Amino acid sequence: MKKTFLLLVAFCMANFANAQYQFTLTSDCNCTSIKNQQNTGTCWSFATSSFLESELIRMGKKEEYDLSEMFFVRQIFKDKAMNYVYRQGKAQFGQGGLSHDVTRAFIEAGAMPESVYSGKLPGEYMHDHSEMEVALKGMLDIIAQQKKPSDKWAASVAGIMDAYMGPVPEKFVVNGKEHTPKTYAATLGINPADYVSFTSYTHHPFDQQMILEIPDNWSNGSYYNIPFEELASITKNAITNGYSVAWDGDVSEKGFSANKGIAVLPVNEKREDLFSKPDAEIAVTQALRQETFSNYSTTDDHLMHVTGTAKDQNGNTYFYVKNSWGEISPYNGYIYMSEAYYKLKTVGIMVHKNAVPAEIRKRLGI
């Protein structure tokens, strides 16, 4: 009887194990702790700031950095406002952005630690930009309708951001030394020119740079257009060699769940065990990528930070992705994204040029 009971327990445990995702990390880059963008559309700054923090770790910096995401956000709001007014209101204005916006802000304004500027007013514990966005957009719409706008509106933009986010200090002290944002950025050793962006769509020629036509690319940032398989191969090569990757893509699919920590591209998206065990996934092709981009079923909803690779119990490959929605999911804020999902739903990536395989760098002249 006892033997029968033990066999039954073993059988049940084996079936339970087979019904659950079992992940094993195969490569993992060093990165900083999970952050929370809260009630803002600033995933682009959180993802790319995390990416730059990992770069600092990779570069051998002795201290762990925590860069101010909201410092970059303020600079980009300022740039967007200028773009919106100069284009007479016929441009994108909102909270969204892309990875190259952070490197743009780094060049233009510098950087500062989170401890110096959090973007929250005294006594506040939540980021919330909903009302600030309405205030900025409302004012800019009025300015853009003027026949001859004055030059006072730029100061008004700064004033609104000061009211909601607090003023940015002109000088601050780090490790006993006084800095401005520019001098602090110079101490980090980051060269924005070292970072390149990639995408993969057939409405532009491959192996050339292109302007990706997505709403948040308000600054007309350029991407190298490459075959879709190379988006995954660049990412794998980067992670294997200690480089992480900033990711932009679609998270609106039924196979994506931040709460479950899983992103898959199932053949049958209605199955009840979608987020509990691996099963067949859609075979991704270049034509399918283009179709889903052209019909808006792939959109640039969200940016995250790819820090590792993994395998499930069936040997399928996943990317280990750091999100910015707090320590949710069974994986404390991380998501295991299947290779199929990555190949179809990645809109673009940013990576250090040295992380790109040599043959691709040579072909593109990077």
- Indicate whether 169 pLDDT > 60: yes
Decide which of 18 and 93 is more confident: 93
CATH topology for 22-364 is Cathepsin B; Chain A (3.90.70)
Other beta carbons less than 10 A from residue 122's beta carbon = 6
Q: Residue 151 has what pLDDT?
A: 87
* 3-state DSSP percent of the chain in helix, strand and coil, to 5: 40, 20, 45
What single-letter DSSP state applies at residue 353?
A: G
pLDDT, tens digit (0-9, with 9 covering 90-100), for 98-157 = 999 999 999 999 999 999 999 999 999 999 999 999 999 999 999 999 989 988 999 999
- Indicate whether 13 pLDDT > 60: no
> Mean pLDDT score of the chain, rounded to an integer?
94
Query: 3-class DSSP state for residue 183?
Result: helix
**Closest to 308 measured CA to CA, from 19, 25, 58:** 25
- For the chain, give the percent of residues with pLDDT over 70: 95
- For the chain, give the percent of residues with pLDDT over 90: 92
* b/e map 159-193, b = 16+ CB within 10 Å: ebbeebbbebeeebeeeeeebebeebbeebebeee
124 Cβ neighbours under 8 A, 6+ residues apart: none
**Spatial separation of the C-alpha atoms in residues 16 and 158, rounded to whole Å:** 56
pLDDT, tens digit (0-9, with 9 covering 90-100), for 19-68 = 589 999 999 999 999 999 999 999 999 999 999 999 999 999 978 899 99
Which region holds residue 296: left if phi is over 0, alpha if psi is between -120 and 50, else beta?
left
Alpha-carbon separation of residue 184 from 65, 99, 103, 111, 268 (angstroms): 12, 20, 15, 6, 51
4 Cβ neighbours under 8 A, 6+ residues apart: none
| Predicted model pTM | 0.93
Is the separation of the CB atoms in 48 and 15 below 8 Å? Answer: no
Side chain identity at 295, as an amino acid letter?
Answer: N
**Spatial separation of the C-alpha atoms in residues 232 and 194, rounded to whole Å:** 20
pLDDT, tens digit (0-9, with 9 covering 90-100), for 217-239 = 999 999 999 999 999 999 999 99
**Closest to 239 measured CA to CA, from 32, 86, 21, 31:** 31
**Spatial separation of the C-alpha atoms in residues 29 and 241, rounded to whole Å:** 9
Place of tokens 């790109």: 356
The residues spanned by each domain of the chain are 22-364
